[in-house]
Chain A
């Protein structure tokens, strides 16, 4: 092999290697961009699926919105729906035991004595819900012997509840925008009691904007008048990616959803 042949071979190899490296770089860049975009969309998808589901079932007129601001919202969120499967005779005030049917219990989780409060539908035709604290949760059979759960509760009035009475369990929870002390990024978090958990993120510094509208679609600051909640979430890619023009940067996407509260008291 001559020196000339060697040089030609080296040049050809260099050209091929550069081309392959370029293709690989584009592949990697595209892969990274795709993964980042998917992550970003997943964030927005969580926002689209989760937040409206939490907000739809609120009865703002009955105090389900505990506190509200542009970047935070504290609500009494429904967690469990159940039906009494044993009569609760009238005459008891204070500690009492309710038994909920297993077969007719729905919810994102079971009743939690540490965090939940109950609303029990009062007898009579005024569609009044009676609040009650939960002190304990156990297992007990229904009147027909089928499985159920036993709830130790505190009844505020000596009202009776027949088997079949609907019961709803709630917990007070806060959704808010916050900056993580660990990575300095912004997240939307879920706060139960003192513990704050990231729900989705990272989002931008203005990544959560909540507007509260009344029945005329005007912005209101009165929690009991809220009928619609406008939720805006802005999420960037976690890492910079190249756009179509080749510039490197974080791509931001946004989600806007308007949630109508379904359970406000009807007149």
Chain B
């Protein structure tokens, strides 16, 4: 039988395959690690940019009032809706300063190996608006006042400040038992309603046009913020909803079928009051305010047109109150980053 004569070629080829395969495996492992590291860095960069975008978007919708309701005490925190890819938490630090934290949702499964977490924080505080009010009632068109109208620009706060005009409009006709007081009682000038746009974006309650009957709602001894007809409680100091001052924006025509409310009421269309209504705060109506039932406003009222049906205005009481307006402005104040060192990258502490 002949002896097999294979020589050294097979051994060399096998050796080459083994060594070459080992090197190839090593390079593949290194390349995969390299790719993962690059993906993590890329993810971190995207996370940073995305977190800044999400933070800016959230910031645009935050007001001091929302925080007062959601995080009333130091160290209270509230999760904010930030989409499916992000988590956001707002945390009260001091009565004035809050911390907004934004982080991406970490992926699960295989993708988590490439994840790099970026958590950003912003130190925020409310920035009070500076507005100049000229009259308790401001109307863009001519106004005719008759029986049952009492308008006062005198400050009704317990420590009254300086008053404002009673009514500002291009022309004012007072008849019957209508009373107008203020400094001066009547200010004949053209007024604008730019406050609507300023506060419209900060609305905490956005409603479609329609008919509403409003009043405070409670759950036990707490104010229930869920019903859209709960516009706070202006008549009961110490009541559960007395501290709730929403910024209500109605997109369209609205008829109020009686009730109470407080805060800032913005009506994008016409307002019609059909049953007794009490409101403490600022009522700004882009269209006509049609007062057909007793209406008691403590604060200011501004509208493009003011009437009662087709006749002169009646059954309207407006009493200017600087402290109520100040409180409204305080609650509706937007949050903005601290002037210095507001941006923080929140690395997880070791």
Interface residues of A, Cβ cutoff 8 Å to B: 9, 12-13, 16-17, 20, 23-24, 27-28, 30-31, 34-35, 38, 41-42, 45, 48-49, 53, 56-57, 59, 61-62, 78, 80-81, 83, 85, 101-102, 104-110, 119, 121, 123, 125-129, 162-166, 168, 262-267
Contacts and interface: CB of A to CB of B under 8 A. Distances in A.
Given A48-B41, A59-B340, A166 B99 contact: yes
B345 A121 contact: no
B97 A166 contact: yes
B74 A163 contact: yes
Contacts of A23: 16, 20
B8 interface: yes
Contacts of A27: 19-20, 23-24
Interface stretch (B29-37, B61-69, B272-280): B29-37
A125 B347 contact: no
Contacts of A109: 350
A164 B92 contact: yes
B27 A30 contact: yes
A266 B30 contact: no
Contact of B94 (A17, A127, A165): A165
Contacts of A267: 339
A206 B241 CA distance: 67
B34 A41 contact: yes
7 contacts: A24-B20, A41-B38, A83-B99, A104-B91, A106-B349, A163-B75, A266-B337
Nearest to A53: B345
B136 to A, nearest CB: 29
6 smallest A-B Cβ distances: which pairs? A262-B343, A164-B93, A127-B339, A164-B74, A106-B346, A164-B94
A175 B271 CA distance: 64
Interface string B35-79: 001100100100000000000000000000000000000110000
A24 B91 CA distance: 61
B2 interface: no
Most buried by B among A48, A104, A123: A104
A57 B344 contact: yes
Contacts of A61: 340
Interface in B105-120: 119
A62 B93 contact: no
A57 B343 contact: yes
Contact of A121 (B75, B123, B343): B123
B349 A110 contact: yes
A107 B23 contact: no
Contacts of A166: 93, 97, 99, 123
Contacts of A80: 349
A224 B122 CA distance: 22
B94 A162 contact: yes
Contacts of B97: 121, 164-166
B11 to A, nearest CB: 11
Contacts of A24: 16, 19-20
A63 B44 CA distance: 28
A101 B91 CA distance: 14
Interface in B328-344: 337-344
Interface in B175-229: none
A127 B337 CA distance: 10
A167 to B, nearest CB: 10
Given A12-B9, A27-B19, A41-B34, 18 more contacts: A20-B13, A24-B16, A28-B23, A31-B23, A34-B30, A56-B345, A62-B341, A81-B344, A104-B91, A106-B347, A108-B350, A127-B125, A164-B75, A164-B93, A164-B94, A165-B94, A265-B339, A267-B339
Contact of A13 (B7, B27, B93): B7
Nearest to B28: A34
Nearest to A126: B339
A162 B339 CA distance: 20
B94 A108 contact: no
Interface in B121-179: 121, 123, 125
A263 B337 CA distance: 10
A42 B37 CA distance: 9
A165 B24 contact: no
Contact of A129 (B8, B340, B344): B340
B340 A34 contact: no
Nearest to A46: B41
A110 B338 contact: no
Given A57-B343, A57-B344, A106-B346, A13 B74 contact: no
B341 A263 contact: yes
B345 A9 contact: no
Nearest to A45: B41
B310 interface: no
A126 B341 CA distance: 12
Contacts of B343: 56-57, 262-263
Nearest to B116: A49
Contacts of A45: 37-38, 41
A9 B7 CA distance: 9
Contacts of B81: none
B125 to A, nearest CB: 7
A83 B23 contact: no
B348 interface: yes
Contacts of B16: 20, 23-24
A107 B340 contact: no
Contacts of A49: 41, 44
A203 B241 CA distance: 65
A20 B41 CA distance: 39
